[in-house]
Structure 1
Amino acid sequence: MAQQPGAQADAGETRPVCVDDLRQSAAARLAPAVWDFVAGGSGTESTLDANRTALDSVSLVPRVLAGIEKTDTGARLLGTSAALPLAVAPMAYQCLLHPEGERAAAQGALAAQVPFVVSTISSRSLEEIAEVGAPLWFQLYWLRDRGRMTELIRRAEQAGCQALMVTVDVPIMGRRLRDLRNEFTLPDWIRCANLEPDGLSAAHAHRPSESAVAAHTSIAFDSTFGWSDVEWIRAQTRLPLVIKGVLDPRDAETAVRLGADAVVVSNHGGRQLDGAPASVSALPWVVEAVGGQCQVLMDSGVRSGTDILRALALGADGVLIGRPVLWGLSTAGARGVAQVLSILRTELEEALLLSGCADLEAARTLRTLVAGARG
């Protein structure tokens, strides 16, 4: 169970200057099993580690004498205006980290003027989160109950969501060894608010040497989800459709052919197939495959404004931010989330200026060196 991470900082507490400061604060505040649930990956965590290694291997080649006084980080993602080329990624059960959970995180996104993606398995309902007033997208998992799927799509439309994001890389939950060792079980007070009144009995039931969250996922999710089901979803709504969890360019091409407005190059933060490539390594393949026919976003491992610039230089239209938002949420609620996003904005502004780029379009013209080869 999380401690009370939303309390105001002590008068003598140092203000964070990078997102890693908030990571350290979150690690100190959270119960070990909750921290492992947030921080861990699947298997040996090789893909989790590869995300950072690959991002750090991308060198940016700056332009000089650009005569720039200030930079513009504004973006338009799927028709949503944003102060940064990023959205807050969908993440489950955020009340584990702060009493207000997703509502507080959405307040931080609102302050930063970026989209907030509501997870199907959030611990606050879509309608509760919509009351905050942040620009919202809704993330959909493929459930065994198609009637419930239709209901969720209609609720997203009625709540004013500006896009529908379908996560396609979780036919089952990856084998997350930290959760297995901890026999991770959700406390009784955590809700799966968007799926009530079904409840979360499986996720609340302790199982020796198992993750109760994984057990609930295997019951609720349909592992036979296929491209025909994506076609069905496309036919259900006029909202922009995002396919999240694409690494192979052939899948990106199929997503575009079936009407996707964007794809997210993602390995689920290293939490699904251990041994999958780092998202940033797969990014150029996908960008080339879609050929400008849809927007391309990327997540997994993004921790700084420089990382955002790396993704832009490799062809992305923007990124999703995951764990850093949870670090901020657990440390100081909405204020902590706003701090994370403010730090990323400052870092991106400075990185653009130092690389000779006035805006995001200029950033996409930067050359890169990846593992010593010209990009």
Structure 2
Amino acid sequence: MTKAQEETLLFTRVSKSTQALPVSIEDWEKQAREILPDGPFDYIAGGSGAEETLAENRRAFSRWAIVPRMMRDVTNRTSAITMFGRKLSAPIFLAPVGMQSIAHRDAELATARAAAAAGVPFVASTVSSTSLEQIAEAMGAAERWFQLYWSNDREVSASMVKRAEAAGYSAIVLTVDTVMLGWKRRDFRNGYSPLREGRGLANYITDPVFCSRLAEVTPENAVEEVLKNIYHPALNWSDIGFLREHTRLPILVKGLLHPDDARLALEHGVDGIIVSNHGGRQMDGAISTLDALPAIAEVVAGSIPVLLDSGVRTGADVVKAIALGANAVLIGRPFLYGLAVAGEQGVSSVLDTLLHEFDVAMALSGSRSVEDLNRSILVRLP
């Protein structure tokens, strides 16, 4: 079968599989809005403050345009990358999103199964609705990372990363931009907190160290203990050394936006950086991730992987991020909307669309591989 015939069959398959489901992220969001109550929907869709950063994350992508190259024979192409010695089918990850039961009853298990089937790495959140071990079981041998929210009780953090390593996770992602909770107007207006509802307790009530801190293991006691520990203004670079003592896995820091913080990450032996502003959910008025990316990539100079999240919606977005210095990207809200609308099938459909969009965008840019994507195919618009 020729490449053209394969692509025709692929187009037919994709068309049939998406006839009953949305295609664009905007349509997924619209349907999720119709399904979910105000509290869960606004928690997923909203940002902090006036949501300027939330909007800026998207606008930043529109400030760059791809200038396609022609007559370059893109018949044989690959979207595969290698990271930490592991070959991945595409430079796309599912970002750590907690408490997915607010979107769908099958929560992270549906998302994990869809990610495994698509060959897309899944980053499991500390505040997931299902435990990291349950997620690992659902994924089998598929690639997965564990995102750690630092605990003021350091032994709880140590216990979590040890469990992740034992359950077959291949990297630890330390989120560093949640030293305090972002000021989310929508959640205040709705009087909604899924954390207080106990939606993110699964990893805590299955953790022996955490449970040993409770006089009685009840949802109410667990919620209060989590709230006491999860916001950590004292977190600093020396804590990377503590993590190193308790895991052999690569450690990435998620939430860096300043090039000087990238330098500090290198000095402290961090294995990877995720350029992130938490999807606009923490500090409103912060720089967009795409605007922050080039300076961080310049500092890192290829010595460790640099990933980007916040604002990625299309295959063209993936091309732009990689051309500006990212090794891979993560998506968050898009797959949550898919989960809300159609469970595992919804996540699968969102991923299927994005992966094929990326393949098309890469080919039409004149590139045969992820390594071919660089600044030369972009122009910054006035």
TM-score of the superposition, structure 2-length normalised? Answer: 0.88
- The 3 A distance-change label for structure 1 pair 300 and 103 is same
Q: Is the 8 A contact 1:101 1:123 kept in 2?
A: yes
Q: Tell me the SS of whatever aligns to 1:346.
A: helix
- Partner of residue 23, structure 1: 29
Q: State percent identity of aligned pairs.
A: 41
Question: Per-residue displacement from partner, 1:87-109 (whole Å, max 9, x unpaired)?
Answer: 11001100111111111100110
**Match for 1:172: what amino acid?**
M
- The 3 A distance-change label for structure 1 pair 203 and 276 is farther
Check if 1:160 corresponds to 2:168. yes
1: CA distance between counterparts of 2:18 and 2:354? 24
- Partner of residue 113, structure 1: 119
- The 3 A distance-change label for structure 1 pair 371 and 156 is same
- Partner of residue 319, structure 2: 309
Question: Per-residue displacement from partner, 1:292-317 (whole Å, max 9, x unpaired)?
Answer: 11110000010000000000110110
| Pairing partner for 2:202 from 193, 207, 231 | 193
| Pairing partner for 1:300 from 305, 310, 314 | 310
Q: Which runs of 5+ in 2 are unaligned?
A: 1-16, 206-210, 212-216
Moved more, 14-23 or 305-314: 14-23
Q: Is the 8 A contact 1:234 1:259 kept in 2?
A: no
2: CA distance between counterparts of 1:151 and 1:338? 32
Q: Is the 8 A contact 1:192 1:199 kept in 2?
A: no
1:136-175 matches, within 5 Å, as: 136-175=144-183
Q: Is the 8 A contact 1:19 1:343 kept in 2?
A: no
Question: Per-residue displacement from partner, 1:202-223 (whole Å, max 9, x unpaired)?
Answer: 8979xxxxxxxxx964653322
1:360-371 matches, within 5 Å, as: 360-364=370-374, 366-371=376-381
Question: Per-residue displacement from partner, 1:127-161 (whole Å, max 9, x unpaired)?
Answer: 10000123210000111111111110110010000
| TM-superposed deviation, 1:21 | 2.3
- The root-mean-square deviation of aligned C-alpha atoms, in Å, is 2.1
| TM-superposed deviation, 1:83 | 1.7
Aligned length: 353
1: CA distance between counterparts of 2:245 and 2:300? 21
| Pairing partner for 1:122 from 112, 116, 128 | 128
- Partner of residue 13, structure 2: none
- The 3 A distance-change label for structure 1 pair 365 and 46 is closer
Q: Is the 8 A contact 1:200 1:216 kept in 2?
A: no
- The 3 A distance-change label for structure 1 pair 231 and 101 is same
Q: Is the 8 A contact 2:275 2:292 kept in 1?
A: yes
Q: Tell me the SS of whatever aligns to 1:223.
A: coil
1: CA distance between counterparts of 2:71 and 2:123? 39
Q: Which runs of 5+ in 1 are unaligned?
A: 1-10, 206-214
Q: Is the 8 A contact 1:185 1:204 kept in 2?
A: no
**Match for 2:237: what amino acid?**
W
Question: Per-residue displacement from partner, 1:172-211 (whole Å, max 9, x unpaired)?
Answer: 1100010011110338573510011466538979xxxxxx
Question: Per-residue displacement from partner, 1:43-102 (whole Å, max 9, x unpaired)?
Answer: 110000100011111111211111112431112233333221011100110011111111
Q: Tell me the SS of whatever aligns to 1:175.
A: coil
- Partner of residue 34, structure 1: 40
**Match for 2:337: what amino acid?**
W
**Match for 1:151: what amino acid?**
S
2: CA distance between counterparts of 1:265 and 1:12? 32
Check if 1:60 corresponds to 2:79. no
1: CA distance between counterparts of 2:108 and 2:75? 37
**Match for 2:199: what amino acid?**
I
Check if 1:82 corresponds to 2:118. no
**Match for 2:29: what amino acid?**
R
Q: Tell me the SS of whatever aligns to 1:366.
A: helix
Q: Tell me the SS of whatever aligns to 2:245.
A: helix
- Partner of residue 69, structure 1: 75
Q: Is the 8 A contact 2:201 2:223 kept in 1?
A: no
- The 3 A distance-change label for structure 1 pair 80 and 201 is farther
1: CA distance between counterparts of 2:54 and 2:129? 25
Question: Per-residue displacement from partner, 1:305-342 (whole Å, max 9, x unpaired)?
Answer: 00000001101100011000101111111111111111
- The 3 A distance-change label for structure 1 pair 189 and 294 is closer
2: CA distance between counterparts of 1:349 and 1:25? 26
Check if 1:340 corresponds to 2:331. no
- Partner of residue 323, structure 1: 333
